[in-house]
Amino acid sequence: MKSISFLFIIISLFSYSQQKISGTVHDNNGSLLGATISIHKTNKTTSTDFDGNYNILAATGDTLNFKYDGHFSNQVVVENDTIIKTKMKMIAPYTYIGYQGVYMKCFGAFTIPINYLPLRDLLMARKNMENSITPQLIDGRLISLDGIFINKKEFNNIPPLEIKSVTLLKNSKENIGHMRTTPHLIITTKEENFKNLFEFIKRFRDIIPADLRK
């Protein structure tokens, strides 16, 4: 009987420590629909409505995690206030985050290994992202990386540890010139990271006007 009473007291104290936290989540453009709010190190989570409003039960000292796609996450520690409003900061295209080489845009995210950063910069400097353009000969050979023709600078910056296979075709020493449409040397990367990076940057250019790129 005593153990039951003790358990009831513990449950009552725990319930009493919980309080309803409410507020809004927004950015520079207004309220955010679908932003997620979770309590750190628990499975408690909720999301904002059409007006950016949310409600969640939390105790003093809990940490609220605010997340929204294309924005930096926020963390707020619950103190005496039961109303917590937070402003999310949008991540500019190709903003670098941490050691993993994460590049974000307002409609999604793409992650590449950190050793691809030189290739990323070279691809961003390309004037034309079409793979159908006249490829550049590298020491008399055409070289493709993940099915995409590359130039000498890009070839020299391929991360060696990311190479999955290298195939040298017959007659590879023959300089056929710019009319050749098949490569002499075919290189593939692990998980086709170069191809994914190339397509990501190409989509970005198709959607974001040049004067808004960062």
Numbers of helices and strands, H then E, in the chain: 4, 15
117-124 helix and 193-207 helix, angle to the nearest 10 degrees: 40
Q: In DSSP terms, which residues pair with 55 in a beta bridge?
A: 22
Classify residue 47 by burial, with Cβ atoms within 10 Å: 0-12, 13-18, 19+. middle
The token pair at 95 is: 């903003």
* pLDDT for residue 208: 56
Nearest to residue 33, comparing CAs of 47, 20, 19?
47
- pLDDT for the residue numbered 13: 47
* CATH 2.30.30.830 given to domain 19-87: no
Give the start-to-end residue ranges of the domains of the chain: 19-87, 95-212
Which of 19, 157, 132, 35 shows the shortest CA–CA distance to 82?
19
pLDDT of residue 111: 60
* pLDDT at residue 163, rounded to an integer: 93
Q: In whole angstroms, what separates CA 100 from the centre of its chain? A: 10
pLDDT tens readout for residues 147-182: 898 989 999 999 998 899 999 886 644 444 444 567
Paired strand residues for 97: 102
pLDDT in tens, 30-40: 888 889 999 98
Give the pLDDT score at 92: 58
Predicted pLDDT of residue 54 = 96
Residues of the chain with pLDDT under 50: 8-16, 94-108, 132, 172-179, 212, 214
SS3 132: coil
